[in-house]
Amino acid sequence: MKDSAGYVDIMVRTPIETVQVLVQEALSASGFRVKLVNPYKGTAEKPSKEKTAAGEPAKTCKFDFEIIRFESNAVVRLHRAGPQCEGPNGVTASRELNAIINALTTWFNQHGCLQGVLGL
């Protein structure tokens, strides 16, 4: 999956409080630390286990997310945050973004509220 638009939108149909809980649970269960700025915005980060070519630890992968409310549904928007975390093959950030997308879509699907994914 690739975020060609610079972000990925995951559309869901469920109360906003449920979206907030599911986002935090899905990301935490996938090994991401969640830092909330407010009930609708936050950052998910995961330290990279890979090493750079110089043998130093790669940068931490960070992704911003926001929950956008609409009348009958909501959108969880994911953005890459700050400098990219890149592994030896330059694929770490994309792999971690895919992990977040997969975690969120799986959790939303299991709860019967996933409507679709846009921006791929």
Per DSSP (E only), the strands in 26-95 are 33-38, 41-46, 61-69, 74-80
pTM listed for this prediction: 0.79
- Which domains can be identified in the chain, with CATH numbers? 7-118 (3.30.310.80)
Q: To which residue do tokens 């799986």 refer?
A: 106
Q: Coil, strand or helix: which one is 120?
A: coil
Per-residue pLDDT tens digits for 46-56: 866 666 666 66
Per-residue pLDDT tens digits for 41-98: 999 988 666 666 666 665 677 889 999 998 889 999 998 765 556 555 455 667 788 8
